[in-house]
Amino acid sequence: MLLADVLAALERDWPARLAEPWDAVGLVVGDPADDVQHVHFAVDPVEEVVAEALAAGAQLLVTHHPLYLRGTTSVAATTPKGRVVQALARGGCALLVAHTNADRAAHGVNAALAGLLGLQGAVPLEPLPGEPLDRLGVYVPVADAARLRDALHGAGAGAAGAYDSCSWSVTGEGRYRPLEGSHPAVGAHGRLEVAAEARVEVVLPRALRPQVLAAMRAAHPYEVVAHDVVELAVEPQATGLGRVGDLPEPVRLGALAERVAQLLPATAWGVRVRGDRDRLVRRLAVCGGAGDSLLVAVARTGADAFLTSDLRHHPAQEAAEDLALLDAAHWATEWPWLPVAAGRLADATGLATSVSRLVTDPFSPRATPDPMDRGPA
């Protein structure tokens, strides 16, 4: 399969438009005209992961974290990032980054973390607003309705999910009297005309309104087109940062922490806990990666606990008192997305896929204090 076709398949699940404006996602290394047979998935684009991808025979490495989040002036092999680029290029392996677009996607990092914990009815903590839509209703002679529908669909109206050419119509009678100076397609000056007409309705992206209305007027036989445009309410999507949902059954915080530690890949960081370990947790919020910016949003959901990573001292200290906190390693909370992503791509394309199991969390096992140490003086 051409790399361009693989990129299109990945874009369908983790569209780049979902990424934060500051992010750097998409193709970093590679030629869309190259062939791909095997795709390797990892969290971090580091040298060890590149070596693993090449050893697996991959022609594409997909990572969650960007290689270059900020600009660079060199890809020389004198720096770790430069060595990554050089190794990929020499090995004939492309690199694609799916970062905050994968965080927000319906089948992304946060959905995978929620699924791992069995959350029921999980929804985004910060859902993205849906695309602004219009509903267009237009009256047209029955004989011209099919041509009008084709023109509206051709201009981009009537698409819904995996469907296109969507419309609704009903027939009735239209009445009008052509006056002097008019040029009626049907009827005569001064005579009341009764015509068999259809009302055709379509939904369209608001951004396409000008071209859809232009197509309507061009395809309509009347010189004055009776129509109306209604702006529909913008509904939240199934995409957005974080997830919150209900556990299959209430569990005590201490037991939940142990379960999280067992489900996530093992790291030196482990799982830190804030809160009474005996308290019951029914509703759980999660955010893969750094999530303390969502603490206020979590509190509004009525969640009993929040699982995330990279919690800073002051935000954690100032979080709502009735919100328990579970803080795991950044890498570990994002890793569960990899097998989900690999499986979806394999199902969609038939390509061979593999998942990195290298622990690229940057921290080594923690130092253990002397039992006789009484703490800070």
Q: SS3 for 164-176, per residue?
A: CCCCEEEEEEEEE
Residue located via tokens 């995409």: 239
Residue ranges matching CATH 3.30.70.120 in the chain: 133-234
Q: In this predicted structure, what is the pLDDT of residue 349?
A: 97
Where does the chain have alpha helices with state H?
Answer: 3-13, 47-55, 80-91, 100-104, 109-116, 145-154, 209-219, 253-263, 295-300, 313-318, 330-334, 337-349
The span from the CA of 304 to the CA of 251, in Å, is 11
Classify domain 109-128+239-333 by CATH architecture: 3-Layer(aba) Sandwich (3.40)
The span from the CA of 56 to the CA of 235, in Å, is 43
Residues with Cβ within 8 Å of 265's Cβ and at least 6 positions away in sequence, in order, are: 331, 332, 335, 357, 359
Residue 88: φ, ψ to 5° = -65, -45
Sign of CA pseudo-dihedral 84, 86, 87, 88: positive
Query: Do 219 and 136 contact (CB within 8 A), yes or no?
Result: no
Query: Do 249 and 267 contact (CB within 8 A), yes or no?
Result: no
CB atoms inside a 10 Å sphere around CB 12: 10
Q: In this predicted structure, what is the pLDDT of residue 370?
A: 57
Q: In this predicted structure, what is the pLDDT of residue 368?
A: 60
* Per-residue buried b or exposed e for 70-107, using 16+ beta carbons within 10 Å of the residue's own CB: eeeeebeeeeebebbbbbbeebebbbbbbbbbbbbbeb
Q: In this predicted structure, what is the pLDDT of residue 86?
A: 97
The span from the CA of 148 to the CA of 137, in Å, is 12
The span from the CA of 187 to the CA of 166, in Å, is 31
Q: pLDDT digit of tens for each residue in the chain (377 aa)?
A: 999 999 999 999 999 999 999 999 999 999 999 999 999 999 999 999 999 999 999 999 999 999 999 888 999 999 999 999 999 999 999 999 999 999 999 999 999 999 999 999 999 999 988 889 999 999 999 999 999 999 999 999 999 888 999 999 999 999 999 999 999 988 899 999 999 999 999 999 999 999 999 999 999 999 999 999 999 998 878 899 999 999 999 999 999 999 999 999 999 889 999 999 999 999 999 999 999 999 999 999 999 999 999 999 999 999 988 999 999 999 999 999 999 999 999 999 999 999 999 999 998 776 666 555 554 54
Q: How many residues appear in the chain? A: 377
CB-neighbour burial class of residue 229 (10 A; exposed 0-12, middle 13-18, buried 19+): middle
- Alpha-carbon distance values, 339 to 63, 73, 289, 309, 371 (Å): 12, 34, 17, 20, 41
Tokens standing for residue 15: 């569209």
**Tell me, what amino acid is at 49?**
V
Residues with Cβ within 8 Å of 309's Cβ and at least 6 positions away in sequence, in order, are: 269, 288, 289, 290, 291, 327, 328, 329, 330, 332, 333
**Tell me, what amino acid is at 301?**
T
Where does 67-122 have alpha helices with state H?
Answer: 80-91, 100-104, 109-116
Residue ranges matching CATH 3.40.1390.30 in the chain: 3-99, 109-128+239-333
The span from the CA of 312 to the CA of 296, in Å, is 14
Tens-digit pLDDT profile for residues 362-377: 987 766 665 555 545 4
| This prediction's pTM | 0.80
Per DSSP, 188 falls in state -
- Rounded to the nearest angstrom, the gap between the alpha carbon of residue 22 and the centroid of all alpha carbons in its chain is 16
Domain 133-234 in CATH 3.30.1490.20: no
Classify domain 3-99 by CATH architecture: 3-Layer(aba) Sandwich (3.40)
Q: Residue 77 in 3-state DSSP?
A: coil
